[in-house]
């Protein structure tokens, strides 16, 4: 038998094909309220969602209620799972999985895309050429910040942070990082948050959204950075108070910024849209064929573990030994 799997979004075709062969797939193209999602997903044993689905008690409760008791597993098609009420899922005995590991390198590439394009003023240069305003090489034209010999501060030294550090080393950057606690066996220097922000030439946010990281970067933080600093964020938008970043860029508190994620995604702070010294990408961290396929495979593997083998998937984020799960 095949598990009944509801999915809230279309994945790439090879992934959809694989899901269709292994599952009874119920594709929910859109819904306008949690209640509508519950109606459309009624009877599903697995729910595959993306980071733009907010999955709370009002969805998890009814889909896992004792009378239907069908929902066993929620697969988040993302590594960050702040869009899911984990406490509610655990309480209802529903496992939640994410997609760790497979998007690390692609996301680190986007961090570097932002670092390079913000520091070397790619947007302004590109626009100048296309607008017909490039009238020849000039010694003072569009000067940026150099990576070689500079210090990169990484906020959040997990898998993605480490992959960013590897790239930075190849560019001849010095590396320091801040995490709640020093990472065991990390070759890099742990520093406290104040040191990170005041002494780094580049800062890369690679952390997840948690109550501790939310709004960690405010106007006051930017005011303590180097005036020449370049800040990029590939973690989660809420880590930066976006209005404050716009103000800091306007006041020249920092040199430039690059964002792949937004506080009120997909809304972008209007004042940022007006600024030249910020590069804005539409959440492309994991956006390669290879990575998106590997993310789908992790969902399929999780379904196989739970549905066919009765096992806890290794990427289950809410496993607790004392909790009963629906299997």
By the rule CB under 6 A, 278 interacts with ligand GLV: no
Quick check: 73 binds ligand GLV (CB under 6 A)? no
Residue 286: CB minimum distance to ligand GLV, A: 5
168 part of the interface to ligand GLV, by CB under 6 A: no
236 is catalytic: yes
Is the bond preceding 108 in cis, omega lying within 30 degrees of 0?
Answer: no
283-315 in b/e form (b: 16+ CB < 10 A) is bbbbebeebbebbbebbbebbebbbeeeebbeb
CA R_g for the chain: 22
Q: Among 73, 160, 272, 299, indicate the residue that binds ligand GLV (CB under 6 A).
A: 160
- Contact segment (CB under 6 A) with ligand GLV among 112-120, 129-137, 159-167, 180-188 equals 159-167
Q: Which is nearer to ligand GLV, 8 or 286 (CB)?
A: 286
- The answer to whether 308 is a known catalytic residue is no
Q: Which among 16-24, 98-106, 138-146, 302-310 is the span making contact with ligand GLV, rule CB under 6 A?
A: 98-106
The answer to whether 159 contacts ligand GLV (rule: CB under 6 A) is: yes
Check 58, 105, 124, 265 and give the catalytic one.
265
Distance between CA atoms of residues 266 and 282, nearest Å: 8
Q: Which of 6, 47, 55, 78 binds ligand GLV (CB under 6 A)?
A: 78
Kindly state whether residue 103 participates in binding ligand GLV, applying the rule CB under 6 A.
yes
Q: How far apart are CA 291 and CA 101, in angstroms?
A: 10
* CA–CA dist 103, 113 (Å, integer): 15
The nearer residue to ligand GLV, 3 or 156, going by C-beta atoms, is: 156
CA–centroid distance for 215 within its chain: 16
Three-state SS for 280? strand
* C-alpha pair distances (Å), 281 with each of 43, 55, 159, 258: 37, 25, 21, 8
Question: What's the token pair of residue 272?
Answer: 């940022």
167 part of the interface to ligand GLV, by CB under 6 A:
no
> By CB under 6 A, is residue 285 in contact with ligand GLV?
yes
Q: Does 34 bind ligand GLV (CB under 6 A)?
A: no
**Would you count residue 95 as binding ligand GLV (CB under 6 A)?**
no
**Which residues inside 105-144 make contact with ligand GLV, applying CB under 6 A?**
none
| Parallel, antiparallel or unpaired: strands 230-233 and 256-259 | parallel
User: DSSP for 299-319?
Assistant: HHHHHIIIIIH----TTBSS-
Applying CB under 6 A, the residues found at the interface with ligand GLV are 51, 78-80, 100, 103-104, 158-161, 206, 285-286
By annotation, the residues acting in catalysis are 236, 265, 283
């Amino acid at each position: 038998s095949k598990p009944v799997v509801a999915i809230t979004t279309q994945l790439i075709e090879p992934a959809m094909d694989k899901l269709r062969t292994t599952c009874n797939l119920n594709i929910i193209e859109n819904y306008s309220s949690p209640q509508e999602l519950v109606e459309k997903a009624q009877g599903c044993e697995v729910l595959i969602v993306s980071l733009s689905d907010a999955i709370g008690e009002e969805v998890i409760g009814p889909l896992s209620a004792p009378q239907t008791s069908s929902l066993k597993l929620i697969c988040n098609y993302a590594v960050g799972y702040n869009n899911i009420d984990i406490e509610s899922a655990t309480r209802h005995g529903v496992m939640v999985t994410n997609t760790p590991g497979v998007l690390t390198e692609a996301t680190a590439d986007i961090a570097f895309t932002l670092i390079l394009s913000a520091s070397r003023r790619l947007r302004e240069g590109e626009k100048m050429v296309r607008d017909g305003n490039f009238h020849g090489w000039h010694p003072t034209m569009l000067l940026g910040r150099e990576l070689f010999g500079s210090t990169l501060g990484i906020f959040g030294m997990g898998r993605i942070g480490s992959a960013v550090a590897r790239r930075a080393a190849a560019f001849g950057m010095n590396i320091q990082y801040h995490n709640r606690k020093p990472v065991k066996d990390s070759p890099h220097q742990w520093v406290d948050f104040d040191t990170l922000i005041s002494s780094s030439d580049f800062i890369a946010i690679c952390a997840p959204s948690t109550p501790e990281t939310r709004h960690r970067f405010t106007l006051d933080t930017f005011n303590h950075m180097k005036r020449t600093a370049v800040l990029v964020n590939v973690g989660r938008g809420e880590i930066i108070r976006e209005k404050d970043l716009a103000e800091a860029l306007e006041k020249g508190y920092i040199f430039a910024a690059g964002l792949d994620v937004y506080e009120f995604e997909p809304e972008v702070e209007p004042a940022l849209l007006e600024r030249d010294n910020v590069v804005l990408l539409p959440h492309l961290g994991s956006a390669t064929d290879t990575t998106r396929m590997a993310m789908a495979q992790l969902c399929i593997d999780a379904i196989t573990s739970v549905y066919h083998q009765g096992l806890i998937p290794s990427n289950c984020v809410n496993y607790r030994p004392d909790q009963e799960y629906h299997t």
